[in-house]
Every structure is written in C-alpha cells, then in structure tokens.
Homo-oligomer: A and B are copies of this chain.
Amino acid sequence: MALSEFDLIRLYFSSFQQGSAVVTGIGDDCAELSLSPGHTLCTSIDTMVEGVHFPKAPDVTGLGWRVLAAAVSDLVACGARPVGFCLALTLPHADETWLAAFSKGLAEASRFFAIPLVGGDTTRGPLCLSVQVFGEVPAGKALLRSGAKPGDDVWVTGTLGDARAALDCLENTAFSEAEQVFMAQYYRAEPPLRFSVSLRDIASAAIDLSDGLAADLAHILQASGASAELDVGALPLSAALQDSYSRDVAEAYALTGGDDYQLCFTASSAQREAIFALAAEHNIRCSRLGSVASGAGLNLVRDGAPIDLTHYNNMGYLHFQ
C-alpha cells in the first residue's frame, strides 16, 4: 500500500502530545503558537543527512530521539523553555516499519523534553531530517555566546567524548558494556534543558556542544572578544571512555569530537556556589575547566604547562571540509 502524505501524518505523527502554547497544531497551513507575555521566541533548525550525520543502518528509534535532542540542544544553549517543533521529513519511500520506529523515538523525546510536534512537511527524496525548534525566554534574558568576560570560569555539563567514541562502534552488531554507554550517548543525548533555564541569571555566555568543545568554545570566545585557558586534566571523561582509550585519545575525543549535546558556559567566579547547588538540584554533572582572559584564542594547559591543540591532530567537525 502506498501511503499518502496525509495518511502518513495521521498514522504516525498526529497522536503527539499538545502543549499549552499550541493554538493550532498539525493540520492547517501554519501552526499557531502563543508565547507567554513579555517573552521572545528562540528558534533554531538542525538537519541530519543519512550517511553524513548518521549511519545508513541506524537505530531508527534512537535516530528519532537524536534528531530532536540535537535541535533542543540549541534551545538549551539559549536557556529557552520549549514551546514546540516542526519536522521536515524527506524519505525515499513511506516505509511503515521505519516510520513506526522513528516516530516512537521522536515521541519519547517529545515527552521527555516537553516539546510538542506542531507541524511539518513530508517529502520524497534521499533520507534527510530537519527539525525546527521553538522556545521562549523572558525578553532580554536569552543566554548568548557574546557575554563571556575576563575572569569568568569556563564550565561544561556531563561527560565529553562518548558520542565520538560511538562512531568507532556504530556499525557493530554486538556491543561491550563501554560501547553501550557510547551508543546511549550517541542516540539518547539529554541536553540539560531544565538546568539551563535556571542558569539564565547565572551564566554570562553559553553554547551547546555539537561540533566539539574546542570548536564550540572558540565561538564563545570570538563572539565575546576574549581568550580562555583550559586545563585538559579537568575534562570530564566517563569511566567507559577512560577504560576504552588511551588518555590522549580520550582527551582528543572530549576536545574535538562532536555530538555531545552538553552545555558549555561561562560565569563569574562569584557564581561557583550557585552553579554547584543548581547542578545538584538538577542532578547534572558540572565541571569547571578553566577561565576566560583578555586577548583571543583558546589555550590548553596540562599541569600548568601549555600544550598545542594540534597535538591531538583531530579537529572539530567542519561540515564542508
């Protein structure tokens, strides 16, 4: 049976939960969303292409979670509360097994992040997924990349490098315990959404980690006109990563591997207590990696001595290189 676009949406995507901000959801020409008074809209789009951003035979349910988590991660970077998302789904054909698995993972993430599906477009073509997320922040309160000041601390949430390690076992058919940790990080990322909303009055700048810590922190530094010194010994590495790789490779994965979907942020050193309290409240691991200074660029140190990023010989993922 060939599924029409309308059948496909009705069967797989119309039972998603609705949010309080949704005036008109799936099924009209536009979704209509009502923001809270005094709030601005934060919005971002993220695309994943088969064979580029995920393997040709992925965990399809995991992919459904991952594509939404990666987009929600941009809301997290701004401290925005989720309001809704749209899905542009391009598929070679309407494969019902695929659609059932994909929409299951997408629905799970939709519930987890409390972000309802409000609209989308389904088209025929090479497998490609774009998710546009909508969130809201009180006007003037969005976390930006540009607010880091000399003297601020540099922080990250979670552990880094596990999603990069997943690329080494993505095509396996059986997984070690460590590899299961990596795969969970790859397919089931949990960007720290509620934590970041609470961080709005505490952090000075923030970015989500999608291209790797070194590349993403560089965006904060460039936007803020500042430099930073980062202690590679303080990088938060999972036990699985440390057990599976040499220290050098584990650090390289943490610094330059992408897809962590954790938060990197800067904050005045006067906020340390507040940050640890917030981390405990939200059960989020928070690691202080170094500090912001004047000048430009990212400087790495180990035990106080400078080291060169090229030491790791594995730069962040640049989409067109």
Residues of A within 8 A of B (CB): 2-5, 8, 23-24, 27-35, 37, 40-53, 74-75, 77-78, 80, 86-88, 90, 93-94, 118-126, 128, 130, 132, 134-135, 137, 139, 142, 144-146, 206-208, 223, 318-321
Contact = CB atoms under 8 A, between A and B. Distances in A.
B46 A40 contact: no
Given A35-B41, A49-B125, A132-B132, A29 B320 contact: no
B49 A40 contact: no
Contacts of A223: 27-28
A126 B75 contact: no
Given A123-B319, A125-B126, A126-B126, A44 B29 contact: yes
A188 B206 CA distance: 40
A77 B30 CA distance: 8
A40 B34 contact: yes
Instruction: Specify how many copies of this chain sit in the oligomer.
Output: 2
A132 B47 contact: no
Contacts of A23: 40, 139, 142
Q: Across the A-B interface, give the 10 residue pairs with the lowest CB-CB distance, nearest first.
A: A49-B125, A29-B77, A126-B126, A30-B42, A5-B319, A88-B130, A132-B132, A33-B41, A130-B130, A30-B44
29 contacts: A2-B321, A4-B318, A5-B319, A27-B145, A28-B78, A28-B145, A32-B78, A32-B137, A32-B142, A33-B41, A34-B41, A43-B86, A43-B132, A44-B86, A45-B87, A45-B121, A46-B121, A49-B125, A49-B126, A52-B125, A86-B132, A88-B88, A88-B132, A90-B128, A122-B319, A124-B320, A125-B128, A128-B128, A132-B132
A213 to B, nearest CB: 15
Given A128-B90, A130-B47, A122 B31 contact: no
A272 B211 CA distance: 57
Given A24-B142, A45-B86, 20 more contacts: A29-B145, A29-B207, A29-B208, A30-B42, A30-B78, A32-B78, A33-B40, A34-B40, A37-B37, A41-B41, A43-B118, A44-B119, A46-B88, A47-B121, A49-B125, A50-B125, A53-B123, A86-B132, A93-B320, A122-B320
Contacts of A42: 30-32
B125 A51 contact: yes
A30 B128 contact: no
Residue from A51, A119, A123, A135 having most chain B Cβ neighbours under 10 A: A123
Contacts of A8: 320
A276 B271 CA distance: 63
Contacts of A87: 45
Given A47-B90, A125-B51, A32 B41 contact: yes
A74 B28 CA distance: 9
Contacts of A122: 319-320
A320 B128 contact: no
Contacts of A37: 37
